[in-house]
């Protein structure tokens, strides 16, 4: 099952996020997920594992497990490389051992001090606050992103963590429209206005953190997981599905792409088995009531500044 982007390319509606995956673990993860049917992988320069992902993909191509044209590979431009877009993209391609990307995203709508192409550092100033580069506009960054399409380095380009105002601006100054806006959204953080705005203007919404971050965000940010919600637990018996499956299905029925992460094979399998049932309108309405406007991914912890304030 796939969503057709505004440029005609198709994006699988379920993908695998590789944030916080390392070494041999990621090679096994990629191989196992391909065997289970995953064809969409969400990477980022900042995850610092593109080399390992690239090795796993190369092995999968070499052994005939899958063909390159059957996969949809996303990666992202880090904040410190806004002034070096083409070089950063080429660096990611080299690490991933690919000739082109299916999708390249601006990871966050902020340029920071350059620390070397692909270094993905978040330099802090003397006050311990993110060292923001005020000489590079998001418009400048976007026009460099557009060059990637004409150079054949990326089939689609998009944005990530953009709000309505920034998305509107991008639509206004772009020659190549953003195909995707990847944002945190889940039943506790539904962002209905942003989702509908993007979809109205032909921008596909990808839900990162579609399960509310679960253990990863609880460990890093001390946030509460949607997977523990009693209302959602109450639906598991009705649908004979897990809470995670119900939450992912909710995301799919909103016409958003979901990219859960897991390092466990049984969870990979479980997360992929969400196309064989449908939530009723009543239950979709029930889940709408769970919204708390609750963001679980909080980079301010590391940056000394809340960019969402």
Annotated binding site for substrate: 107
Instruction: Select from 38, 42, 37, 52 the least CA-distant residue to 19.
Output: 42
Q: Which helix (DSSP H) or strand (DSSP E) does residue 253 occupy?
A: helix 243-253
Q: Which residue has the tokens 């593109």?
A: 50
Q: What's the Rg (C-alpha) of the chain?
A: 19
Instruction: Select from 253, 255, 252, 235 the least CA-distant residue to 243.
Output: 235
Range 162-168, long-range pairs (CB < 8 A, 24+ positions) = 162/106, 162/109, 163/194, 164/193, 164/194, 164/197, 166/109, 166/138, 167/194, 167/197, 167/198, 167/201, 167/203, 168/197
Residues in Cβ contact with 218 at an 8 Å cutoff, skipping those fewer than 6 apart: 224, 225
Catalytic residues: 47
CB atoms within 10 A of CB 275: 13
> How far, in Å, CA of 74 to CA of 41, rounded?
6
Q: Are strands 10-12 and 2-4 parallel, antiparallel or unpaired?
A: antiparallel
Residues in Cβ contact with 201 at an 8 Å cutoff, skipping those fewer than 6 apart: 167, 171, 177
């Amino acid at each position: 099952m796939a969503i057709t982007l505004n440029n005609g390319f198709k994006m699988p509606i379920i993908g695998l996020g590789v944030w916080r995956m390392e070494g041999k673990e990621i090679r096994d993860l990629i191989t196992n997920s391909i065997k289970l049917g995953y064809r969409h992988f969400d990477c980022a320069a900042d995850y610092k594992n593109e080399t390992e992902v690239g090795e796993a993909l190369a092995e999968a191509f070499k052994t005939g497990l899958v063909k390159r044209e059957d996969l949809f590979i996303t990666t992202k431009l880090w904040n410190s490389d806004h002034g070096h877009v083409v070089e950063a993209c080429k660096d990611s391609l080299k690490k991933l051992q690919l000739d082109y990307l299916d999708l390249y995203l601006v990871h966050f709508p902020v340029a920071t001090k350059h620390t070397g192409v692909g270094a993905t550092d978040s330099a802090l100033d003397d006050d311990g606050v993110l060292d923001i580069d005020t000489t590079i506009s998001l418009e400048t960054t976007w026009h460099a992103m557009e060059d990637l399409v004409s150079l054949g380095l990326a089939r689609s380009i998009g944005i990530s963590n953009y709000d309505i105002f920034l998305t509107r601006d991008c639509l206004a100054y772009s020659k190549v429209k953003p195909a995707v806006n990847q944002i945190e959204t889940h039943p506790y953080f539904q962002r209905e206005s942003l989702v509908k705005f993007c979809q109205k203007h032909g921008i596909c919404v990808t839900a990162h953190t579609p399960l509310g971050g679960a253990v990863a965000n609880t460990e890093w940010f001390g946030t509460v997981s949607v997977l523990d919600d009693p209302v959602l637990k109450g639906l598991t018996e009705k649908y004979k599905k897990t809470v995670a499956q119900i939450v992912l299905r909710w995301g799919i029925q909103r016409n958003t792409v979901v990219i859960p992460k897991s390092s466990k094979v049984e969870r990979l399998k479980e997360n992929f088995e969400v196309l064989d049932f449908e939530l009723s309108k009543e239950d979709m309405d029930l889940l709408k009531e769970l919204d708390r406007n609750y963001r679980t991914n909080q980079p301010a912890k590391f940056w000394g500044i809340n960019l969402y304030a």
